[in-house]
Amino acid sequence: MSAATAAATKPAYRSLQAGDPAPWFHQACTSNPNFAFDTVAGRYIVLCFYGTASDEPGRAALEAIQAGQGSLFDDDKLALFGISFDPADQSEGRAREMLPGIRHFWDFDGKVGQLYGALPQGQESGSVAARRFWMVLNPTLRVRAVFPFREDGSDRDEVMAYLRALPPIDRFAGFEIQAPILIVPDVFEEGFRKHLIGLYEEHGGTESGYMREVDGKTVAVHNPNHKRRKDYTITDPNLIRQVQNRVIRRINTEIEKVHCFKPTRMERYIVSCYAAEDGGHFRAHRDNTTKGTAHRRFAVSINLNAEFEGGEVGFPEYGPRTYKAPAGGAVVFSCSLLHSVSKVTEGRRYAFLPFIYDDEAARIREANNAYLGEGVGGYRA
C-alpha cells in the first residue's frame, strides 16, 4: 500500500478541545430511550468514553465513577454520563444508572462517539478501536478539559482531583455572569394589563402543552410534571393590533439596538396564567428544537401583574439566578437559550408570551409545514 493510499484510508477522528461547543444529540440512555443532551446544561458535565466494561480499563473507569456517586456526582453541581459502545454492557448489567449523578448512554450505533472523536467519522462502534477519554464540560456545554485514558490508570485520579477543584457553577467563568437577556420595562401600561387579565378571568384558560418531535413530526404533548400553565388565546383583531403596536415600539427597537436583528413577525397572542393552586411551572427547555418551532428567534415574557411569589424565569446555563420583570415589563431572550419558570408558590402570575421572528424565518416556518403533526396548525408566510 502506498503512503498516499494509507493516508487516505487512515481513520479520521474529530478532535474537540477546550473552548469548543459540545455537540448536541439525542441517544438512548439508562433513564430515557431518546435523551436530549442539550437539556443537561446548567451544571458541570463529565462524559466518560469508556467504550466497554468488558476489559480492565473500562471496569476500572466504572469503579472510579461509582466511587464518586453522591460525593462528586450529585446532579446539582456535577453529573456524569458514561458512553458505552458495547450492547453487553446493557444486557449483562455491567453499566448501571446510579441516581443522583450517574447515567450511561447506549451508543451502539456510534453516533455520539463520532461526534466527540471517540470513534472515527463514518464508522460504527465495533469496527475499529475506540479512543477512550474523559471530557469535562462547563455549564454552557462547552469543553473545559479532556483527559485521555492512560495505561497505568493515572487518568482516573487526575480527573477526580480536577473535578473536586471545580469552582461553584455560578463562578465557572471565574466570576458571576448574567444571562444574555434583555430586560425592557414599561411595555404594557397598567390599564392595558388589567384588560388582558380581565379577559383571562372572564373566559378562563385551557391547559397548555409544549412541542416535541415524534417520528419526524412536531406534535403537542402534555406532561404536568414538565409544564403546568393555562392559556387564553386572543382572537380580537383590534386587540391584536394594539399588542403589536406596543411590542413594535418598545421591544423591537431594543432588539434592533442590541442584536442588530429586525423583527417583523409575531407568533402567539395568549394571556397565560401560572397559578399557585395548580403548581404552575415550566421545567428547563428551549423554544426552537423542533421543525415546527425552528423559525422562532426571540421569546418575550411580559408580566401583567406583580402579586405572586415564584414564577421567575431562570437560565441554568448562566447560573442559578432567576429574573422577575416588573409589572408591564419584559424579559426578552433568544429561543435557543435553556430556560425555566420556577414554581408559583403564592398567587397567580399572569403573562403575555409571544415569539418574535422575521421574514426569512417565516419562510422556514412555511417550508416546515410538512413536518407538523395532527392538530398543529399550518402556516402561510
The string of pLDDT tens digits covering residues 182-221 is 999 999 999 999 999 999 999 999 999 999 999 899 999 9
Any domain includes 186: yes
pLDDT tens-digit map of 304-347: 999 999 999 999 999 999 999 999 999 999 999 999 999 999 99
- Say whether both 153 and 67 belong to one domain: yes
Which residues, including other chains, have CB under 8 Å from residue 85's CB and lie 6 or more apart?
Answer: 51, 52, 107, 108, 110, 113, 118, 119, 125, 126, 130
- CA 202 – CA 196 distance, rounded (Å): 10
Print the domain residue range for 227: 182-371
Give the C-alpha separation, 206 to 220, whole Å. Answer: 14
Number of structural domains (the chain) is 2
Same-domain pairing of 214 and 346: yes
pLDDT band at 157 (very low <50, low <70, confident <90, very high): very high
Q: Are 353 and 302 in contact (CB under 8 A)?
A: yes
Would you state the pLDDT for residue 283? Answer: 97
Q: What is the pLDDT of residue 374?
A: 83
Assigned domain for 2 exists = no
For residues 220 and 211, is the Cβ–Cβ distance under 8 A? yes
Helix (H, G, I), strand (E, B) or coil at 189: coil
Quote the mean pLDDT of the chain.
94
Give the pLDDT band of residue 4 (cuts 50, 70, 90): very low
Domain final residue pick, 141, 171, 201: 171
Same-domain status, 242 and 144: no
End residue of a domain, out of 171, 202, 224: 171
Give yes or no: residues 282 and 142 share one domain: no
Per-residue pLDDT, 194:
98
Say yes or no: 261 and 344 in one domain. yes
Question: Do residues 358 and 263 make contact, with C-beta atoms less than 8 angstroms apart?
Answer: yes
Q: Do the Cβ atoms of 285 and 313 come closer than 8 Å? A: no
pLDDT at 246: 98
CATH number of the domain within which 33 lies:
3.40.30.10
DSSP annotation of 342 reads P
In a domain, 164, yes or no: yes
Residue 125 has pLDDT above 70, yes or no: no
Q: Is residue 75 in a domain?
A: yes
Tell me, yes or no, whether 20 and 131 share the same domain. Answer: yes
Say what the pLDDT of residue 3 is: 47
Q: Residue 280 belongs to a domain with what CATH number?
A: 2.60.120.620
The verdict on 143 and 204 lying in the same domain is no
d(CA 278, CA 290) in angstroms, rounded, equals: 27
Q: Are residues 258 and 352 in the same domain?
A: yes
Biggest alpha carbon–alpha carbon distance for the chain: 81
Single residue among 171, 193, 222 that ends a domain in this structure: 171
pLDDT value at position 7?
A: 47
> Based on the domain organization, do 129 and 216 belong to the same domain?
no
Residue 380 within a domain:
no
> How many CB atoms sit inside 10 A of residue 1's CB?
8
Decide if 379 is inside a domain.
no
272 grid coordinates = 397565560
Residues 225, 84 share a domain: no
Question: Residue 9 corresponds to which cell in the numbers above?
Answer: 484510508
Structural domain includes residue 177:
no
Q: Are residues 192 and 138 in the same domain?
A: no
Q: Which residue has the higher pLDDT, 69 or 285?
A: 285
- Reply yes or no on whether the pLDDT at 140 is more than 70: yes
CB atoms within 10 A of CB 29: 19
Which pLDDT tens digit goes with each residue over 38-58?
Answer: 999 999 999 999 999 999 999
β-strands 44-51, 143-148 pairing: unpaired
Residue 324 lies in a domain: yes
Q: Are residues 68 and 160 in the same domain?
A: yes
Q: What angle do CA 224, 229, 234 make, to 5 degrees?
A: 145
CA 31 from chain centre, in angstroms, equals: 17
